[in-house]
Structure 1
């Protein structure tokens, strides 16, 4: 792997941290804004007013950047989408930053990355942005970030709401995925370590859901194992597979504590919606004595490790765009062939039981008027094709969202929204 974009990203970050706080002369090139985190050298996290000021500045600074409100939280805070790119492109990457409000390092990495790509003038970055559209939701849970809580203002874990879409935050993200069809969905989080067994600087994990197309699944694993982890390790960070405890002596797996194939999690929903999804988790806990004594030092490590991993993502996107586009493009059309089982359980490391496999799926599902009225907005947000009737609606399986339909409507699916009537007559 050639660390082209990664090197640029880290150099920009270092320059931003080192930049003096001076007022630029009237005729000088505008000084790129810094985050509150950078201003204090990691002593505190960027405030909401500072974030809004930075986004307003980059929105005006370059034609390649636009900032839009895509949703509004219960406490009236904006959920925003930043688009960075020189022109419309085939290849689209979506960053979802800090879905959990008490996990701020991903948000900081996203904000500084937005700034760096806005002001970058080198040919390599401009070429990258001429072929890739980068979409960023810098604060996916604004109310939770304000309160420093995992959930939103109702206490709901947004990362368990990507199927039912009951929160304003998850609905906003679903609309972005539906409208932009990203090839990669990269989800930035943090985790609490368990000494000896589970304490890498960074963990990551691809979609484990068995309904993920095989080629898309393969690209997500390539992103993890051949790009994100090597990029982080090159910069001195340790990496591993999220949710798997390992023996500190042998390195062999001990037990799985997280990371199953649950469809309501964004990492898995990404695969179901034909994107190479990747969850990334930086370690919250200090490891060294220096980090224990200096909270800012620990905070900087949390953010810079995320930045290193993002560099691997950018290298992957730049070098494997053809393979990625081929995989996601084919997956989006496969559902129209309407064949093969649909899985309502299991994972890529946990084969589905017969009871978790719809071996011979129906041709579609019929909803009565009340059922359709209850979930029509959610079906639309998921991009599910629906045929309306006076008595309700018919949802065919022959569509791009083929595997998603039973997960929403079949009583055998653990998180289904309604129990629709299977129609076996095609």
Structure 2
């Protein structure tokens, strides 16, 4: 990292409850609002009414921030998108916070980050925000957060719905990705430890789906290994690869328990949609006797570790901006060349079987009128280009979303929405 970006990273990685994310002069006015979590010193999580008041106050106080509604849940709670920084910057970063309602630490980190960036006065932050559009969905699962449940009000795991888009929550996220085309999608979660084998302070993982463009995949791994993990480790947090158990003595992998390449998960869909995706997971379980005795202390550590990792994300965005934009920009146009296989299985650490490779993809897929009526809204939310026909619709592969099309429509895809007829006439 350059000294300037390293300084920004270190500022971002400071503990949220002890100091603001970025330097804010003491004389700054008006006084920045605080979350319910901060007001209680970690004794409780920020309530949804408190979140609404907090975001309204930040929006009113800063012209760097705008808050908009991108949907409503089944229980009529608002799904909101917060923009911080330039409206039309070349680099766009999207934070998706607390898709799982019972994993609140990422949400708290997102809320305090919004506030701290909005109120920061130093030149480094101003320069960073001039060149970056930071988009934040502070609570991606409001109904689940209200009930403290993993799923939404129907019990659906939103992070398994980024292909079918059956939930209001996943549909809202898909629309944001389609409309804003983020270069990075950073997905904040928490996990339960299995001591000795799986008990780091933070785990992360990039898109493993084999349809991720090679350069985008490389950028996602660079974000993880050269920025997010070092930033967290500089603050004495331990890090590792999500889903991989390791031998406590040798550090060698023992088995994989999660983190595959299935396309329904946002981490993987991020890569398919040409963004450097990264999943981040903070440890829920207390680490020390003091944390076992004091739940608030444990909660503060969970949130502070997420903020530390965000420092690495911001450092990466500043330092590798040109490389990132080059990778995502090239990936978005590659589909128009319409060449190469499409994978319906496998992962970057699990080679696809022959049956999982569409070696000679069709020119496109033909949908009947009934099929198209069933999924036309989802195709539009994904940004898939469709040609209407009297008999239904034709979905060509020659488009930016080339790899996504077979995952939605091919009979060989495990999570397809419909089985469409392949067109091999080209």
TM range (shorter): over 0.9
Partner of 1:20: none
Q: Provide the C-alpha distance between the structure 1 equivalents of 2:87 and 2:343, rounded to a whole number of angstroms.
A: 38
Contact 1:43/1:295 (8 A) holds in 2:
yes
Partner of 2:11: 8
**TM-score where L is the length of structure 1:** 0.97
Q: Provide the C-alpha distance between the structure 1 equivalents of 2:7 and 2:169, rounded to a whole number of angstroms.
A: 34
SS in 1 for 2:279: strand
Q: Provide the C-alpha distance between the structure 2 equivalents of 1:90 and 1:272, rounded to a whole number of angstroms.
A: 20
Contact 2:43/2:295 (8 A) holds in 1:
yes
Q: Provide the C-alpha distance between the structure 2 equivalents of 1:314 and 1:120, rounded to a whole number of angstroms.
A: 14
SS in 1 for 2:19: helix
Partner of 2:273: 273
Contact 1:42/1:299 (8 A) holds in 2:
yes
Partner of 2:282: 282
SS in 2 for 1:318: helix
SS in 2 for 1:394: strand
User: Is residue 2:404 matched to residue 1:400?
Assistant: no
Q: CA deviation at 1:88?
A: 1.6
Contact 1:12/1:116 (8 A) holds in 2:
no
Q: Provide the C-alpha distance between the structure 1 equivalents of 2:15 and 2:416, rounded to a whole number of angstroms.
A: 45
Q: Provide the C-alpha distance between the structure 1 equivalents of 2:361 and 2:339, rounded to a whole number of angstroms.
A: 8
Distance 1:173 1:28, change over 3 A: closer
Partner of 1:379: 379
- Which stretches in structure 2 are left out of the alignment for 5+ residues? none
Contact 1:90/1:132 (8 A) holds in 2:
yes
**TM-score where L is the length of structure 2:** 0.97
Contact 1:92/1:180 (8 A) holds in 2:
yes
Q: Provide the C-alpha distance between the structure 1 equivalents of 2:105 and 2:185, rounded to a whole number of angstroms.
A: 18
Q: CA deviation at 1:5?
A: 2.0
Distance 1:66 1:353, change over 3 A: same
- Which stretches in structure 1 are left out of the alignment for 5+ residues? 18-23
Q: CA deviation at 1:317?
A: 0.1
SS in 2 for 1:218: helix
User: Is residue 2:142 matched to residue 1:121?
Assistant: no
Partner of 1:106: 106
The 5-angstrom pairing of residues 58-69 of structure 1 reads 58-69=58-69
Output the aligned Cα RMSD: 1.3
Q: Provide the C-alpha distance between the structure 1 equivalents of 2:19 and 2:189, rounded to a whole number of angstroms.
A: 25
Q: Provide the C-alpha distance between the structure 2 equivalents of 1:353 and 1:317, rounded to a whole number of angstroms.
A: 36
